[in-house]
């Protein structure tokens, strides 16, 4: 973008600077239940909106204009309604409700980003004392994490699983091991879509209770089970699986710990089986995409040693671990933009 005869425009810089305004406007609307209250095609005037949300006419008018400008609402004459993306993903109770994930970032991650310069200067995370704790996930006493984070990630995992399932054929497998699978959103979605597929969610003991709750709520007790363990300290992973999934796991660790985990995957996986590293992948040139690169900044703030890696780095680690012919399947989802796939040789 340029100004005629004067060189580059400042507008891209303004858009970067004002990015937080879009985010905080979006978060405020979710917290006020705007999209849930407008569910089902409900259209309201500015006056009706103010009464519906419980705010005065001036802020109601300002909020409606802002939400329309960022394409979360649509205006038809004098009335406003949810845009399709808001109706699909921002109405509470919908299968892939995105609002919980947004609010986790708003209340937990956003304040921590105030200290990003400190993380850059010290090479230390801001959300955990790395001298005392290896991971933000290790404690069952953190009620915010237990009550908010896992629920926030659940819908994101389900949607990402659906996208991955459209480009990778899981029907060729019998038993899936989801290593560090959080609340079980990935295997619940995959096993629901693929008859006969069974899955184990290998997670910390205090997270397994959440897995069991989500599995029961989804009516998938016949296919998905929780297996307690800690992949960072256990010498072996559970065996008897012909496909292993690592979804948004390796970006939490450094190269050495990730190589160690891939070696455990190779040992546990049945011959001929596949391993999938599902992540926001940085390209081979390490120039983007921005979703992956900026998530790497988030990992700097969140985890000792964590960052987002390139598809070529993952492929190299897989080959070194003994896996054969790694390749990338690409898709678009909030949780990942692709998966690096490799197989364990049969002999």
Positions annotated as catalytic residues are: 251
- Helix (H) / strand (E) element for 339: namely strand 338-343
User: Dihedral angle at the C-alpha atoms of 99, 101, 106, 107, nearest 10 degrees?
Assistant: 110
Here the tokens at position 131 are: 């001298």
C-alpha span between 278 and 234 (Å, rounded): 22
DSSP state of 34: H
Q: CA-CA distance, 174 to 199, in Å (whole number)?
A: 8
85-94 long-range contacts, CB within 8 A, separation 24+: 86/35, 86/38, 87/35, 87/39, 87/41, 90/30, 90/35, 90/36, 91/35, 91/36, 91/39, 92/33, 92/36, 93/36
Peptide bond into 298 cis (omega under 30): no
């Amino acid at each position: 973008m340029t100004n005629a005869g004067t060189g580059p425009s400042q507008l891209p810089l303004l858009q970067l600077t004002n990015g937080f305004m879009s985010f905080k406007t979006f978060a405020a609307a979710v917290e006020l239940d705007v999209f849930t209250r407008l569910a089902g095609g409900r259209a309201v005037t500015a006056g009706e909106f103010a009464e519906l949300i419980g705010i005065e006419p001036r802020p109601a008018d300002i909020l409606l204009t802002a939400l329309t400008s960022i394409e979360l609402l649509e205006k038809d004459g004098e009335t406003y309604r949810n845009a399709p993306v808001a109706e699909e993903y921002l109405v509470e109770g919908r299968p892939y409700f995105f609002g919980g994930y947004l609010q986790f970032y708003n209340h937990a991650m956003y304040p921590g980003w105030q200290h990003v310069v400190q993380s850059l200067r010290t090479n230390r995370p801001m959300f955990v004392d790395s001298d005392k704790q290896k991971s933000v996930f290790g404690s069952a006493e953190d009620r915010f994490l237990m009550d908010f984070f896992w629920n926030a990630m659940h819908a994101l995992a389900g949607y990402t699983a659906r996208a991955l399932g459209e480009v990778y054929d899981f029907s060729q497998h019998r038993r899936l091991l989801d290593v560090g699978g959080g609340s079980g959103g990935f295997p619940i979605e995959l096993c629901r879509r693929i008859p006969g597929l069974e899955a184990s969610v290998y997670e910390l003991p205090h997270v397994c209770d959440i897995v069991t709750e989500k599995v029961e709520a989804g009516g998938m007790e016949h296919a998905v089970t929780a297996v307690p363990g800690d992949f960072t300290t256990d010498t072996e992973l559970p065996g008897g699986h012909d496909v292993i999934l690592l979804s948004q796991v390796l970006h939490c660790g450094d190269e050495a710990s990730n190589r160690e985990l891939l070696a455990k995957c190779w040992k546990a996986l049945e011959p001929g089986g596949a391993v999938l590293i599902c992540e926001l992948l940085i390209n081979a040139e390490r120039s983007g995409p921005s979703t992956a690169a900026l998530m790497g900044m988030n990992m700097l703030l969140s985890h000792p040693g964590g960052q987002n890696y390139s598809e070529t780095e993952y492929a190299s680690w897989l080959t070194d671990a003994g896996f054969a012919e790694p390749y990338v399947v690409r898709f678009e989802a909030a949780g990942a933009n692709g998966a690096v796939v490799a197989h364990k040789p049969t002999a």
